[in-house]
Amino acid sequence: MGEDMGRKSVAPAAKDTLFKDSVQACRQALKSVMIFSMFVNLLMLTGPFFMLQVYDRVLSSRSIPTLVALGILVVVLYAFMAILDVLRSRIVARAGVRLDDTLAPRVVDAMMIHSANKTPNVGSLPARDLDTIRQFVSGPGLIALFDTPWVPVYLLVIFLFHPVLGFLSLAGAVILFILMIANERLTREPMAQLSAQANVSHATTEELYQNAELIRALGMSETMRNRWMGEHDKTLVDGLTVSDRNGAITGLTKAVRLVLQSSILGVGAYLVIQQQIQPGVMIAASIIFARAVAPVEQTIAHWRNVLGARKSWERLQSLMINTPFPGEPLQLPDPKGHISADGIALVVKGRDAPLLQGIQFELKPGEALGVLGPTGAGKSTLAKVLIGAILPQKGRVQIDGAALDQWDRDRLGQHVGYLTQDSELFSGTVAENISRFDENADSRNIIEAAKLSELHNYILDLPNGYDTPLGRNGIPVSGGQRQRIGLARAVYGKPSIVILDEPNANLDATGEAAVITCIKRLKEQGAAVIVIAHRPSAIQAVDKILYLRDGKQVAFGPRDEVLKKILVNSPNKATPLPTAGAKTGAPSTTRGVPTQIKMSTQPEIQTQSPSQGDTSDKPENGEADADQSQRKTS
C-alpha cells in the first residue's frame, strides 16, 4: 500500500514472528512426545532381548522359574510401553487441536482481510490448509517421524551382536532411506499439481453451490455439471498419479524389508553354524532390524500426508507474511459520528484509471449524505473504503478525528451500521441476525432496531417470530425482506455512523417509505447517515449530496445546491429530484421524479419510481459499481 495510507501494518519479519509464536503453544506437547518416543522405542527392545534370554538361558538351563520371571518382566514392560504409546497418541491429538486453536483466529482474520482486498486465489484455502496441518499433527505420520531418529540406535544394537549383521542391517537401512528420498522426488511435483487442481475443483464446487438457483433457472445444469466433472476428473487423475508412485515405492519398500529380514536370518544361521553367535542372537537381530526400519516404512506410506502438510504450512506462513495485520490500537472513546474523507484514492491492478480519486467530504452527527453517480462511478467501492473493508492507497478516513487504523475494529464496528447491496443473512434466528449474533444481546434493543426499521409487525407474523430460523436451514425470504432485516441489523445498538448501500433496491413503495422514515429517525438520534443511492426516493431525507463520476468527486455540498448544479450542466433538462417533503408513489413528472439526468456526454444517472421495478448498485469485478438493471422512462 502507499505511503499515505495511514495504516500501521505489521512488518513482514514481525508477522513471521507472530506466526511462529502461535506455534509455541504446542511445542511443549511435542517435547513430551519426543520424550515418550524415546522410552517407547527403548521398550521396543523388550521382545528381542526376551527372545535372546529364552534361547540362551532358559532353553540351555531348562529353568522354569527363570522363564516365569522373564515372562512377568516382559508383561510389565509391555504394559508400561502401551501406556506411554497411548499417552503419546493422545498428546499429538491434543497438540493438533491446540495448534488449530491458536492459529485459527489469525487465519480467519487473514482470510477476511484478503477477501475484503479481493486478493485472488485465497478464498477458504487457508482454512483447508489449517485442517490439513491439524490432521497431520494428530495422525500417525508425525509419530513415525519421531520414531525415525531411533533407527541408528537399533542398528548399533545389531552391531553389538555381530559386525556382519550390523553392516548388513546398515546396508538395508541405507537402501530404504534411498527409497524414501526417491519417493519424495517422484511425488513432489505431482503432489503440487494435485494440491493446485484440488483448489480449483473446490472453488468450482463453491461457485456451483452459491449459484445453484441461477444455474437451474437458465438451463445451465448439464453444462455446469460437465464443467465441474472436468475439473473433478483432473483432480482424480492427479491423485492417481501420486497414489500410484507412492504405492509403488511403498510396495518396493515392504519387499526390500522382508528380503533383508530373511537375509539377516540366513546370515545369522550361517554365523550360528560357524559358532560365532548364539541362536537367540539370530532371532533378536531379525526382530530388531524389523523394528529399526518400521518408521521408515511408515513414513513412506504416509508421505502424501507429509507433503500435503508441508505445502499447507508454507502457504499459511506466506499468507501471514503477506497479510497487512493492523497493530494494536489505543482504546478510544465511543465515536460520536463525525466522519470525514481526506483525499481518498484507490487503484487496483489491471485497471488504468483509479477506482476512486480525490474524494473529500465531511459529515457531522445528525446529518445525512446521499452519494449519487452513474454506473461504475465507484459508489459501493467508496462505502467499503469508509467502513475500512478496502484500504486506499492515498488519503484516509477519519472518525471523530482519528483515522480508521487507530480504532479497535471490533469495538468500532459496534457503533457502525452497514447495509450491503446483497444484504446477506447468516444461518441463525431473526433475532440473532439483527443483534449481529451478540451473545449478550438485550431483547429490548433487538425489538427497538426492528421497530426503527418498521419490521416489528412483519417479524411477529413469522412462524416463530424473532426465533424464526434463517439461512441454510431456515425459511426462505425474498430480496426485499432480506434487505429490511439487514436494515434492522445495521441500526441495531443505535450506531453513531450508518452506511446504507442501495437500501431501497428491492423494496416496494411501503418499504421505501420505511427506509426514509428510518433515516430521519437516525438523524434525530444524532447518527451520521450515508446513503448510496441510484433511485431518487432514497435521498429524500439527506442533507448533503456527494456526486461521483468515473471515480472522481464532481460535486459535494448541500442537497439542493448540488442537484441544481447537476441539472444546470445537463443538456437534457429534467424536473428536480423530490424534495425532503415529497412523497414516493407512482411515476409522474408532475410529482418531481425525473426520468433521467445527464452530465454532458458522460454516462447517465438512471432514476425511477419505486413502482417501476427494482434496481441495484452492485460492484463490478469486485470494485466498481454496476447495476443489475437499468430502465428508461419517458
Q: Is 356 helix (H, G, I), strand (E, B) or coil?
A: strand
Q: What are phi and psi of 510, to 5 degrees?
A: -65, -45
Each residue of 188-206: pLDDT tens digit?
Answer: 777 777 777 777 777 777 7
Q: Report the range out of 342-356, 603-617, 619-633 with the highest average pLDDT.
A: 342-356
* Contact partners, residue 550, CB within 8 Å, separation at least 6: 353, 376, 377, 378, 602
Domain ranges across the chain: 10-321, 339-627
End-to-end alpha-carbon separation of the chain, Å?
Answer: 46
C-alpha grid cell, residue 248 = 509403488
**Helical spans, DSSP H, in 138-278:** 140-147, 151-161, 163-210, 212-217, 221-273
Residue 28 DSSP one-character state: H
Residue 490's nearest CA partner among 408, 430, 416 is: 416
**Helical spans, DSSP H, in 492-601:** 509-524, 559-568
Residue 429 pairs in a beta bridge with 469
Q: Are 450 and 488 in contact (CB under 8 A)?
A: yes
Tell me which architecture the domain covering 10-321 has in CATH. Up-down Bundle (1.20)
Instruction: Check pLDDT > 70 for residue 249.
Output: yes
d(CA 251, CA 174): 17
C-alpha grid cell, residue 546 = 456527494
Which residue would you say has higher pLDDT here, 368 or 223? 368
**What fold, for 339-627?**
Rossmann fold (3.40.50)
Instruction: Check pLDDT > 80 for residue 537.
Output: no
C-alpha grid cell, residue 350 = 489491471
Which residue would you say has higher pLDDT here, 158 or 474? 158
**Helical spans, DSSP H, in 117-162:** 125-137, 140-147, 151-161
Structure confidence at residue 224 (pLDDT): 80
Structure confidence at residue 591 (pLDDT): 33
> What residue has cell string 432480506?
482
Query: Beta strand pairing status for 402-403 and 394-399?
Result: antiparallel
| The amino acid at 292 | A
Each residue of 427-470: pLDDT tens digit?
Answer: 888 999 899 888 888 889 999 999 988 889 888 988 889 999 88
Structure confidence at residue 101 (pLDDT): 78
Q: Is the dihedral of CA 150, 151, 157, 160 positive or negative?
A: negative
Structure confidence at residue 611 (pLDDT): 34
Triad 92, 94, 99: Cα angle to 5°: 95
C-alpha grid cell, residue 152 = 541408528
d(CA 488, CA 450): 5
d(CA 372, CA 380): 10
Distances in Å between the alpha carbon of 379 and those of 112, 180, 359, 576, 611? 21, 58, 11, 22, 24
CA atoms within 13 A on the CB side of 158: 33
Q: What pTM was estimated for this model as a whole? A: 0.59
d(CA 385, CA 379): 10
